[in-house]
Amino acid sequence: MYKCGKCNKPIHSNVNTVGIQCEACGSKIFYKERPNVKKVTKAR
């Protein structure tokens, strides 16, 4: 599960897919929904 880096909305799509963006705000920055690991993923 990933979350949007901007609006914190959960992303249900595969963030590894090229060209996806947040349904809510259009952001292309996501991070894994894990308490201790904050890994930023940029969709190309």
Q: Which residues contact 27 (CB under 8 A, 6 or more apart)?
A: 4, 5, 6, 7, 21
- Minimum separation from the CB atom of position 11 to Zn ion (A): 8
Tokens of 32: 């894994």
- Minimum separation from the CB atom of position 6 to Zn ion (A): 5
Q: Which of residues 1-44 bind Zn ion (CB under 5 A)?
A: 4, 6-7, 9, 22, 24-25, 27
Total residues at interface with Zn ion (CB under 5 A): 8
Task: Tell me whether strands 40-42 and 2-4 are parallel, antiparallel or unpaired.
Answer: unpaired
The residue ranges that bind Zn ion (CB under 5 A) are 4, 6-7, 9, 22, 24-25, 27
